[in-house]
Amino acid sequence: MKVAVLDITGKDTGRKVELSSDVFEIAPNNHAIYLDVKQHLANKRQGTHKSKERAEITGSTRKIKKQKGTGTARAGSIKSGVFRGGGRMFGPRPRDYSFKLNKNLKRLARKSALSTQAKENNLVVVENFDFDTPKTKNFVTVLKALGLENKKSLFVLSGANNNVYLSSRNLTRTQVINGSDISTYGVLNAGKVVFMEGSLEVIESNFSK
C-alpha cells in the first residue's frame, strides 16, 4: 500500500512511500495481540502488594475464651482472621507478574497491530524533522498542523532525536519512541501512528524477518 508523505505543516509533499505488505497488510492475529498486550501490562505491575497474616499481627496470644461450653465456635487467638483487627486470610503477597513470550509471536503481534491501524487509515508518514532546541510549543505546532492536538498519537522516530523527544515529554496524549522500541500496546493505544519517513526502513527491516 502507498501512503502520502506530509511535511510538518501538514501539507502533502507530492511524494508517496510504499509500505511493506509483509508488515502492514497481514491478516491480524488477535490471539498474538492479546498475549503481547497482556505481557506488556503484566510487566508494568509492581507486585509489591502485601497484607499482614495472623503471624505478623501484634496482639496477645492468650486464649480468649474457654474451649467448651460457650455455645459458639472455639477460638484460640485474637489474631485470627475471623476477628476484627486480626490477620488477613489468604491475603496478597509480593510476586512477579512478568512472563516471557517467544520472539516470533511478539513480531507477529506487532505486525498485526500495525496492519490493524493501517486498515483503519490511522497511519501518517511525515518527513524527517528536528528542532533547534527542546521546546514543547514547537511540538504542539506540529500536532496542530497534523490535526492531532486532541487525539492520542504515537510518533515513531528513525533514530535517537533528543530535541523532538524532550519537546513531547510534557504532552500526556503523545508518546515519542524509536522505531526499534515499537510495541503492540503502544500502537493500538494510539488514535494515530505517525512515522518519520526514515523510521519505516527500520521497522520493515526488523519485522520482515
Whole-prediction pTM? 0.82
Domain boundary among 31, 62, 91: 91
Residues 83, 141 within the same domain: no
Residue 115 has pLDDT above 80, yes or no: yes
When divided into structural domains, the chain yields a total of 2
Concatenated DSSP letters of the chain: -EEEEE-TTS-EEEEEEEPPHHHHSSPP-HHHHHHHHHHHHHHH---------GGGS----S--S-SSSSSS-----TTSTTSTTSPPTT------------HHHHHHHHHHHHHHHHHTT-EEEE-----SS--HHHHHHHHHHTT-TTS-EEEEESS--HHHHHHHTT-TTEEEEEGGG--HHHHHH-SEEEEETTHHHHHHHHH--
| 172-196 pLDDT per residue, tens | 999 999 988 899 999 999 999 999 9
Residues 119, 185 within the same domain: yes
Q: What's the domain range around 85?
A: 51-91
Residue 209 has pLDDT above 80, yes or no: no
Q: How would residue 72 be classed by pLDDT, with cut points 50, 70 and 90?
A: very high
Residues 82, 166 within the same domain: no
Residues 40, 138 within the same domain: yes
**What's the CATH number where 166 sits?**
3.40.1370.10
Residues 23, 58 within the same domain: no
Mean pLDDT (the chain) is 92
Residues 79, 10 within the same domain: no
Cα separation, 122 vs 142, in Å, equals: 17
Q: What's the pLDDT at 138?
A: 92
Better pLDDT: 139 or 208: 139
Residues 82, 138 within the same domain: no
CA dihedral (127, 130, 136, 141) positive or negative = negative
Residues 150, 195 within the same domain: yes
Q: HSE, CB side, 13 Å, CA atoms: give it for residue 30.
A: 0
Residue 206 has pLDDT above 90, yes or no: no
Question: Taking residues 18-38, what's their average pLDDT?
Answer: 94
Residues 60, 148 within the same domain: no
